[in-house]
Amino acid sequence: MNKIRKNKIIYTLLMILCIVGFWWFDTYYSPASATRTTTYMAPETTVSKDYWPSSSTGAVVHHNHYMLSYSEKHEQAEWVAYRVDRSHITQDDRTRPYFIQDPKVKTASADWRNYKGSGYNRGHLCPAGDRKFTQAAYDETFYTSNISPQHPDFNGGVWNRLEQQVRRWAKREGPLTVVTAGVLRGNLPTIGREQVAVPQYFYKIVAKGEGEALKVIAFLIPNEKTDVGLKRFVVPVDQVEELTGIDFFQGVPSELQEKLEATVNTKAWKF
C-alpha cells in the first residue's frame, strides 16, 4: 500500500470518528449544571391592560391565550381580545377537539347543539389557526364562548381572508392586539333552544406599536357572502364603538385615543 493511499484511509477514518463524536456529543452530553428536562414556555399572549375593552355585562373571562366578555343575553362574547405574534403562527398538525361549554362562564356558555341544523357555522372569534403552538392552546379556542353564528360563505370567505391577513401582519409586524366579535345590538334573529343571537355584522380591530407609534385599523363586515376586497370594510374605530357600545383601548391616553379612533389610516397597513 503506497503512502498516499494510506493517508487517504487515515483521513477518512478520522472524519468518520469526528462525525460520530459530534453526533454523540449533541445527542447525549449535557453539562453537570444543566437538566435534561426543560419546561416549555408558551409564547406571550397576554393582552396589555391598556388595550382592554369595556364590558357591558361585567362577565369578563381570562383564559390562558385570550380573554372575553360574555353576553348571556346573546349567548356569545360581545368581544374576544387576544395577542398574536410571529411565534404563534406555526404549521403544527393539531387534533381538532369537540366544541365544549366554557367552564369559566358562570352562567354557562351556549351548547354547541344550538348550531346544529341552523344553517350557520360555529365561527371562531380567536382563530384556532393562531393557537397551534400547543395542543392546549388550540383546544382552548373550542370553548363555545369563542364562537358565533356565521354564514358559511362569510366564515369560509371574507372572514377567513381577514384572519389570514392578520397572520401576515403578525409575521411581518407583530406583536398585534386583536379585538373581535359580532355586533350584538338591535333585534337580531336567533338559533337553537337557547336562542343564540345571529349578528348581522362582525368587527375586528387590530392594533400594533406602542405610545405615539400606536396604529389601529378596524373592519366592519356584513355576515354574508362577499367577494369585495378587505379595504372596502375598513371603518373608524369610533363607528364600531357607536354600534356596539363598547369603549376600546380604555387605557390609552384620551388625546391619542380620540385621534386614532376617529380616522382611517390604511397606509400604515400593507395589504
Residues noted as catalytic: 124
Distance CA 192, CA 116 (A): 8
Strand blocks (E) in 151-255 = 176-182, 190-191, 196-197, 201-208, 215-222, 234-235
Q: Which has the closest alpha carbon to 149: 198, 194, 108?
A: 198
Q: Which has the closest alpha carbon to 107: 71, 63, 68, 66?
A: 71
- Return the residue matching grid coordinates 380604555: 250
* CB neighbour class for 257 (10 Å; exposed up to 12, middle 13-18, buried from 19): buried
In this structure, is the dihedral angle defined by the CA atoms of residues 189, 192, 196 and 199, taken in order, positive or negative?
A: negative
Distance CA 135, CA 242 (A): 37
| Inter-residue contact 113 to 192 (CB < 8 Å) | yes
Q: Which has the closest alpha carbon to 199: 218, 223, 226, 225?
A: 223
What is the DSSP-derived secondary structure letter of residue 73?
Answer: T
Cis peptide before 175 (omega within 30 of 0): yes
Distance CA 41, CA 88 (A): 12
